Amino acid sequence: MEVIILAAGQGKRMRSALPKVLQPIAGRPMLQHVVAAARALSPRIVCVVYGHGGEVVRERIADPELAWAKQEPQLGTGHAVQQALPHLVDGDSALVLYGDVPLIGAATLRRLQTAAGADRLALLTVELDDPTGYGRILRDEAGRVVRIVEHKDATEDERRVREVNTGILVAPVARLRDWLGRIGNDNAQGEYYLTDIIALAVAEGVEVATVQPDAVWETLGVNSKPQLAELERIHQRNIAQRLMEEGVTVLDPSRIDVRGELTVGRDVEIDVGCVFEGQVELGDDVRIGAHCVVKNARLGAGTRLAPFSHVEDTATGRACVIGPYARTRPGTVLGDDVHLGNFVEVKNSAIADHSKANHLAYVGDADVGERVNIGAGTITCNYDGANKYRTVIEDDAFIGSDTQLVAPVRVGRGATLGAGTTLTKDAPAGQLTVSRARQVSLAGWQRPVKTKK
């Protein structure tokens, strides 16, 4: 199988500087979804036909296995396919896909491929309640396809036909070469129509098969931002459906966004408004509260993210409790039963089993041992404006509230830091270290009063 993806259209209606086929569905360019569907058929080659400004597309997709054919000017779908022909070999069949029809499924394409066999033409068609704008499939009394007529060229009678051309088809390469060399542009749009090859095939006695997609949304195209949003929702609902089939409790399947790969254990629960990006792995019994953003993370079994937490490049052990309003940044590694409460930020730090930072803290470039308690307002001062340094807090240390740990610095095993300490030297194990002025009370002190003018 050879695959041609048509992607030369400008997409003016997107009103965007970004070429249409780079507009994202689930965080990936539409074109990449189409390429992925094509690759499921293990084709010999995938050739993308690109147009004006398409260099941006080539650069952004940056896929060395793709072949590229430039179409300039754009004289129609038939002309577009013709540009790809130098990349194709006779004796094989070619599948034509659209770069702006991103949800096409591999299963549907396989059925189309089977229907085409080695020497037939196979069209993917759908019946629409409102076929306005589409090419109509015209059949003879025996039900055999005879040709496709574009909406703009169709008569009143022909426009009543509800079976339309999705644009996706399979044809033998050698025949395609010959037919495309013979089509003209004498039609309402003055374009070279790919659809004109159907009548040529029929005239030569080549069989034309039709196949319907597993779901109509697979064939929907994107020309505008509202259509992009519509397909995004369909795609996300499909992902939610799959997650639920795997046993995940998704509180509202219309309010979840997965932009990457989400793998889950048993009895995972996901509340509304969460976004998952990149590679995310949720262990058994993980619960994600409302409105969390989780990117490239592995959350151990039983871990709970409370609402509004933001977790990125993070790995946790079992039964951690994070949030609400917590943020873990790249390089966060948590052991088992670690608690991070509201307004706690952790970056490039390891925090071992049973340690807790329950309120308002910044832990950056730190190695925190087991059973450490980090009080409210604790800050690791890891950055002197030029360099970053590590803070080490050993097992069973107790860090009093409002403490600054000026790195590099080490808190020994079982040490206690008094509240308000600014630690600039290592704190010995097992001792209380405190750095603050002694408290005094002045008897007979008078509050200033306003002087009358």
Residues known to be catalytic? 359
Per CB under 6 A, the segment of 62-70, 74-82, 275-283, 358-366 that binds ligand UD1 is: 74-82
Q: Which is nearer to ligand UD1, 222 or 393 (CB)?
A: 222
Q: Least distance (Å) from ligand UD1 to the CB of residue 77? A: 3
From residue 209 to residue 228, what is the string marking binding to ligand UD1 with x (rule CB under 6 A)?
------------x-------
Among 29, 43, 54, 99, binds ligand UD1 (CB under 6 A): 99
Q: Using alpha carbons, select from 263, 264, 302, 255 the residue that is nearest to residue 279.
A: 263
DSSP per residue over 282-307, as a string? E-TT-EE-TT-EEEEEEE-TT-EEPT
Q: Least distance (Å) from ligand UD1 to the CB of residue 273? A: 33
Q: Least distance (Å) from ligand UD1 to the CB of residue 11? A: 7
Q: Least distance (Å) from ligand UD1 to the CB of residue 161? A: 12
Q: Which amino acid is at 272?
A: V
Q: Which amino acid is at 170?
A: V
The residue behind tokens 């619960």 is 287
Half-sphere exposure of 65 (CA within 13 A, CB side): 12
Per CB under 6 A, the segment of 75-83, 277-285, 306-314, 316-324 that binds ligand UD1 is: 75-83
Helix (H, G, I), strand (E, B), or coil: what is residue 242?
A: helix
236-265 binders of ligand UD1 (CB under 6 A): none
Tokens of 214: 């597993």
CB 409 within 8 A of CB 365: no
Stretch (H or E) spanning 110: helix 106-116
Rg (the chain; Cα; Å): 31
Among 23, 32, 77, 349, binds ligand UD1 (CB under 6 A): 77
Work out whether 102 is an interface residue with ligand UD1 (CB under 6 A): no
What is the number of other CB atoms lying within 10 angstroms of the CB of residue 181? 9
Work out whether 103 is an interface residue with ligand UD1 (CB under 6 A): no
Among 19, 167, 323, 375, binds ligand UD1 (CB under 6 A): 167
- The Cα–Cα gap between 223 and 20 comes to 8
Among 76, 172, 265, 289, binds ligand UD1 (CB under 6 A): 76
- The Cα–Cα gap between 274 and 293 comes to 6
Among 195, 309, 378, 403, binds ligand UD1 (CB under 6 A): 195
Among 9, 172, 323, 369, binds ligand UD1 (CB under 6 A): 9
CB 148 within 8 A of CB 169: no
Q: Least distance (Å) from ligand UD1 to the CB of residue 10? A: 8
Q: Which is nearer to ligand UD1, 221 or 414 (CB)?
A: 221
Work out whether 80 is an interface residue with ligand UD1 (CB under 6 A): yes
Work out whether 35 is an interface residue with ligand UD1 (CB under 6 A): no
CB 404 within 8 A of CB 384: no
Q: Least distance (Å) from ligand UD1 to the CB of residue 329? A: 40
Q: Least distance (Å) from ligand UD1 to the CB of residue 157? A: 17
Q: Which long-range contacts (CB under 8 A, 24 or more apart) does 409-416 make?
A: 413/369
Work out whether 19 is an interface residue with ligand UD1 (CB under 6 A): no
Work out whether 8 is an interface residue with ligand UD1 (CB under 6 A): yes
- The Cα–Cα gap between 91 and 8 comes to 26
Among 3, 4, 7, 340, binds ligand UD1 (CB under 6 A): 7
Work out whether 135 is an interface residue with ligand UD1 (CB under 6 A): yes
Stretch (H or E) spanning 18: none
Q: Which is nearer to ligand UD1, 29 or 167 (CB)?
A: 167
From residue 326 to residue 365, what is the string marking binding to ligand UD1 with x (rule CB under 6 A)?
----------------------------------------
- The Cα–Cα gap between 373 and 416 comes to 10
User: Is the link from the previous residue into 408 a cis peptide, with omega within 30 of 0?
Assistant: yes
Q: Which is nearer to ligand UD1, 6 or 61 (CB)?
A: 6
Q: Provide φ and ψ at 88, rounded to 5°.
A: -100, 155
The residue behind tokens 């005879």 is 146
Chain contacts with ligand UD1 (rule: CB under 6 A)? 6-9, 49, 71, 74-77, 79-80, 98-100, 134-135, 148, 150, 164-167, 193-195, 221
